[in-house]
């Protein structure tokens, strides 16, 4: 508002004509109509992930209601439990009467039924199901109230100093608050700390008990390079979105709060991203594939960066169910290769390949993971490949199941290609 009023005051002091004054008033009204100034729920931030540079921020530290962006934290907690070995993807979580009674958006789970943890993860990512969020919370912590306390404590450890959680879904609660900056922090942390799980956020559709649910995040198919992460809406928050995009070797994470509609929120996000990538380009040449270090509070392997052909990463543990080979080693392998995507970051490619092995253990047993850098215009992409499959039939069947059951894009090629 001060900018608009100052514009009008300068026009008046200059002894401008009546038409000039009207022009000044018109420009002021246009300024005041922008989302950032007219909408009290609005906030936004954009961060260049590689450098940590904030390239845009507006009300980034103002308290806001997270709505279903809350579920990013719910998933973070589930991923940690998986890594600690407390649960497995095939564990069946029991649906309590309280979970079944949650308002939409929901899967409509019946009290007393069960849902596999991996199906629960996919339902949170795509359908943003509130009943499933409570099922996960109760399955991991006994009660949703206790789970929310643990969410808040973990969020503070991640640096989200302005965030408090009261539930696992994001349904209305006046004490459940966050900021755009904190949600950007969480988005970056979940992809850096769980690169092998982050691929879930790229799921465009999810089938469960005969019904198919499409991901609410339309940027996945609308904006080139988008690979996550989550939408949210309650009346008090407006339409929220946390987005992750890779272009020209750079990854940015952007967060928008307070859209008046889902479409206007998406349009505003696209405009921010377009302007933001122009600013990011001025930061210099990036190092392809870099993500922030894993959270030091978490155990596990800290992966090195793959920078070129033949790079050998640190060995993975046997519990992960696969071995990792370099491109040079893969040249000696005879058989067939399944490719499950190409990514802007090494860790995301490795994670996608690992997820495919976990999903198809009977067909992909003995396959070796190959993360293959390749030039794509000015970008470096990392192909996620599973090499050394014995027969063409096995490779084709694995691809068919990955595409049909898990919406995983898949390509069969001859080893060494």
pLDDT digits (tens, 9 = 90+) for 198-243: 989 999 999 999 899 999 999 999 998 899 999 999 999 999 999 9
Three-state SS across 111-152?
A: CCCEEEHHHHHHHHHHCCCHHHHHHHHHHHHCCHHHHHHHHH
Beta-strand pair 323-325/368-376: parallel
Question: Is residue 284 pLDDT above 50, yes or no?
Answer: yes
The per-residue pLDDT for range 55-90, each reduced to its tens digit, is 899 999 999 999 999 999 999 999 999 988 999 999
Report how far residue 186's alpha carbon sits from residue 72's, in angstroms, rounded to the nearest whole number.
8
Flag the least confident range among 47-51, 106-110, 381-385, 396-400.
Answer: 381-385
- Per-residue pLDDT tens over the stretch 85-95: 999 999 999 99
More confident residue, 15 or 240: 240
Q: What is the pLDDT of residue 393?
A: 85
Strands across the sheet containing 250-259: 53-58, 43-48, 250-259, 238-247, 226-234
pLDDT in tens, 133-177: 999 999 999 999 999 999 999 999 999 999 999 999 999 999 999
**pLDDT band for position 39 (50/70/90)?**
confident
Helix 130-141 and helix 70-84, axial crossing angle in degrees, nearest 10: 40
Report yes or no: 88 and 72 within 8 Å, Cβ to Cβ: no
Residue 302 reports pLDDT greater than 60: no
For residue 415, the model assigns a pLDDT of: 61
Higher pLDDT, 329 or 193: 193
Residue 317: its pLDDT value, please?
A: 32
Mean predicted lDDT score pLDDT of the chain: 79
Q: What is the pLDDT of residues 306-353, one digit of tens each?
A: 222 222 222 233 333 445 544 444 444 557 888 887 776 676 777 778
Closest to 144 in 3D by CA, of 172, 117, 167: 167
Pairwise CA distance, residues 402 & 410, whole Å: 7
Comparison of pLDDT for 414 and 199, the residue scoring more: 199
State the Cα–Cα distance between residues 122 and 405, nearest whole angstrom: 12
Assess whether pLDDT exceeds 80 at residue 24.
no
Assigned CATH class of 318-414: alpha beta
- Residue found under tokens 């961060």: 47
Interval 356-365 mean pLDDT = 77
Which three-class secondary structure state does DSSP give residue 100? helix
Q: Name which of 384, 347, 380 is nearest 364 in CA terms.
A: 384
What's the whole-number mean pLDDT along residues 256-278? 93
Which one has a higher pLDDT value, 371 or 106? 106
Q: What is the pLDDT of residue 368?
A: 82
| Nearest-angstrom CA–CA distance, 81 and 143 | 16
Task: Report the C-alpha gap between 145 and 36 in whole angstroms.
Answer: 34
Provide the residue ranges of all domains of the chain, joining segments of one domain with +: 2-33, 43-281, 318-414
Judged on CB neighbours under 10 Å (0-12, 13-18, 19+), 404 is exposed
Residue 123 has pLDDT above 60, yes or no: yes
The answer on pLDDT for 380 being more than 80 is no
**Residue 389: what pLDDT?**
83
Q: Give the chain's count of helices (H) and strands (E).
A: 16, 14
Answer yes or no: are the C-beta atoms of 256 and 44 closer than 8 Å. yes
Is residue 160 within 8 A of residue 168, CB to CB? The reply is no
- Predicted local confidence at residue 312, as pLDDT: 28
* CA atoms within a 13 Å half-sphere pointing along the CA-CB vector of 395: 22
User: What confidence tier does 362 reach under pLDDT thresholds 50, 70, 90?
Assistant: confident
pLDDT score of 29: 35
**Percent of the residues in the chain that have a pLDDT greater than 70, as a whole number:** 75
Q: What residues pair up with 413 in beta bridges, in sequence order?
A: 337
- CATH T-level fold of 43-281: Beta-lactamase (3.40.710)
Residue carrying the six token digits 């390749």: 374
Q: Hey, what are 249's tokens?
A: 């070797």
Cis peptide before 105 (omega within 30 of 0): yes
């Amino acid at each position: 508002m001060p900018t608009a009023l100052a514009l009008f005051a300068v026009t008046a002091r200059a002894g401008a004509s009546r038409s000039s004054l009207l022009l000044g008033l018109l420009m002021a009204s246009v300024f005041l109509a922008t989302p950032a100034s007219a909408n009290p729920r609005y906030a936004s931030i954009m961060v260049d992930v590689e450098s940590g540079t904030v390239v845009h921020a507006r009300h980034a530290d103002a308290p806001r209601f997270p709505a279903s962006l809350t579920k990013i934290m719910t998933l973070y907690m589930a991923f940690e439990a998986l890594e600690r070995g407390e649960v497995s993807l095939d564990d069946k979580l029991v649906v309590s009467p309280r979970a079944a009674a949650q308002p939409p958006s929901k899967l409509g789970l019946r009290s007393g039924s069960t849902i596999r943890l991996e199906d629960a993860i996919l339902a949170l990512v795509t359908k943003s199901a509130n009943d499933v969020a409570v099922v996960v919370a109760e399955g991991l912590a006994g009660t949703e109230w206790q789970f929310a306390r643990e969410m808040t404590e973990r969020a503070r450890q991640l640096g989200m100093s302005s965030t408090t959680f009261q539930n696992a879904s994001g349904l209305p609660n006046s004490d459940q608050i966050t900021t755009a900056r904190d949600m950007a922090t969480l988005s970056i942390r979940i992809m850096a700390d769980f690169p092998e799980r982050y691929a879930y956020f790229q799921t465009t559709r999810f089938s469960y008990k005969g019904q198919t649910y499409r991901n609410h995040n339309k940027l996945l198919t609308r904006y080139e390079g988008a690979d996550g992460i989550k939408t949210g809406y309650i009346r008090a928050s407006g339409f929220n979105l946390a987005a992750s995009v890779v272009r020209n070797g750079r990854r940015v994470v952007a967060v928008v709060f307070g859209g008046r509609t889902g479409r206007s929120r998406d349009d505003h996000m696209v405009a921010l991203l377009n302007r933001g990538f122009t600013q990011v380009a001025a930061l210099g040449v990036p190092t392809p594939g870099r993500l922030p270090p894993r959270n030091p509070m978490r155990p596990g392997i800290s992966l090195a960066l793959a920078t070129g052909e033949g790079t050998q990463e640190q060995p993975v543990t046997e519990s992960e169910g696969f071995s990792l080979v370099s491109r040079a080693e893969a040249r000696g392998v005879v058989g067939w290769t399944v490719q499950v995507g190409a990514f802007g970051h090494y860790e995301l490619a490795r994670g996608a390949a690992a997820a495919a092995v976990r999903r198809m253990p009977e067909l992909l047993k003995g396959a070796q993971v190959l993360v293959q850098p390749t030039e794509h215009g000015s970008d470096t992409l990392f192909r996620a490949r599973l090499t050394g499959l014995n027969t063409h039939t096995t490779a084709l069947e694995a691809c068919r199941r990955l595409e049909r059951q898990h919406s995983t894009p898949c390509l069969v090629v001859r080893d060494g290609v």
